Amino acid sequence: MPIVVQKYGGTSVESREQLLAVAESVSSLRKEGYGVVVVVSARGSTTDSLVSEAKLIAAEPAQRELDMLMTAGERVSMSLLAIALNSIGCPAVSFTGSQVGIITDTRHTDARILEVRPFRVVEELEAGNVVVVGGFQGVSTAKDVTTLGRGGSDTTAVALAAALGAERCEILSDVDGVYTADPNRVEDAVRIDEISYVDMASLARYGATVLKEEAVRFAEREGIAVLVGPSSGRSPGTIVLDGPGAEPAPVTGLTLLPGADLLEWTGSIEDVRDQVERLGRSLSFVVSACGRTAAAADRRGRPASQDPAADATVRPVDLIAVVGPDGGTDRVATEVVRIAEGLGTTIAAISSAGRATVAAVDPGESERILRELHAAFFPATTSSPRR
Ligand code: ASP
Ligand code: MG
Burial class (CB in 10 A: 0-12, 13-18, 19+), 245: exposed
The answer to whether the beta carbons of residues 104 and 96 sit under 8 Å apart is no
- The contacts of residue 355 (CB under 8 Å, 6+ apart) are 198, 199, 202, 323, 324, 325, 326, 327, 328
The protein residue whose alpha carbon is closest to atom 4 in ligand 1 is 47
3-174 and 253-381 share one fold: no
Whether the per-residue pLDDT at 384 is higher than 70: the answer is: no
Closest ligand 1 atom to the C-alpha of 73? 1
β-strand 137-140 against 145-147: which pairing, if any? antiparallel
- Say what the pLDDT of residue 43 is: 98
CATH topology of domain 3-174: Carbamate kinase (3.40.1160)
Of the candidates 39, 48, 136, 31, the one whose C-alpha atom is nearest the C-alpha of residue 82 is 39
Annotated domain spans of the chain? 3-174, 253-381
CA distances from 46 to 10, 26, 85 (A): 8, 23, 22
DSSP 306: S
Q: Residue 54, Cβ neighbours under 10 Å: how many?
A: 17
Ligand 1 binding pocket, CB closer than 6 Å:
10, 41-42, 47, 73, 135-136, 150-153
Whether the per-residue pLDDT at 285 is higher than 90: the answer is: no
Burial class (CB in 10 A: 0-12, 13-18, 19+), 20: middle
Whether the per-residue pLDDT at 11 is higher than 70: the answer is: yes
Average pLDDT over residues 226-231: 97
H helix or E strand, kind and range, residue 82: helix 63-87
- Say what the pLDDT of residue 383 is: 67
Mean pLDDT taken over the chain: 93
222 Cα: distance to centroid of ligand 2 (angstroms): 20
Whether the per-residue pLDDT at 386 is higher than 60: the answer is: no
Whether the per-residue pLDDT at 284 is higher than 80: the answer is: yes
Average pLDDT over residues 301-311: 71
pLDDT band at 292 (very low <50, low <70, confident <90, very high): confident
71 Cα: distance to centroid of ligand 1 (angstroms): 9
- The contacts of residue 365 (CB under 8 Å, 6+ apart) are 340, 343, 345
Question: E strands within the chain?
Answer: 3-8, 35-40, 92-95, 102-104, 113-116, 130-134, 137-140, 145-147, 168-173, 194-196, 226-230, 238-241, 253-266, 282-289, 292-298, 312-323, 347-353, 356-361
The pTM assigned to this predicted structure is 0.93
pLDDT digit string, tens, across residues 12-67: 999 999 999 999 999 999 999 999 999 999 999 999 999 999 999 999 999 999 99
Rg of the chain, C-alpha, whole Å: 22
Closest ligand 1 atom to the C-alpha of 152? 8
Whether the per-residue pLDDT at 308 is higher than 80: the answer is: no
Average pLDDT over residues 96-111: 98
The protein residue whose alpha carbon is closest to atom 5 in ligand 1 is 151
- Say what the pLDDT of residue 387 is: 42
Bridge partners of residue 104, in order along the sequence:
113, 140
Whether the per-residue pLDDT at 298 is higher than 90: the answer is: no
Closest ligand 1 atom to the C-alpha of 148? 5
- Percent pLDDT > 70 in the chain is 97
CATH class for domain 253-381? alpha beta
β-strand 168-173 against 113-116: which pairing, if any? unpaired
pLDDT digit string, tens, across residues 135-169: 999 999 999 999 999 999 999 999 999 999 999 99
Helices 213-222, 153-164: inter-axial angle, 10-degree rounding: 10
Separation between Cα atoms, residue 372 and residue 380, nearest integer Å:
13
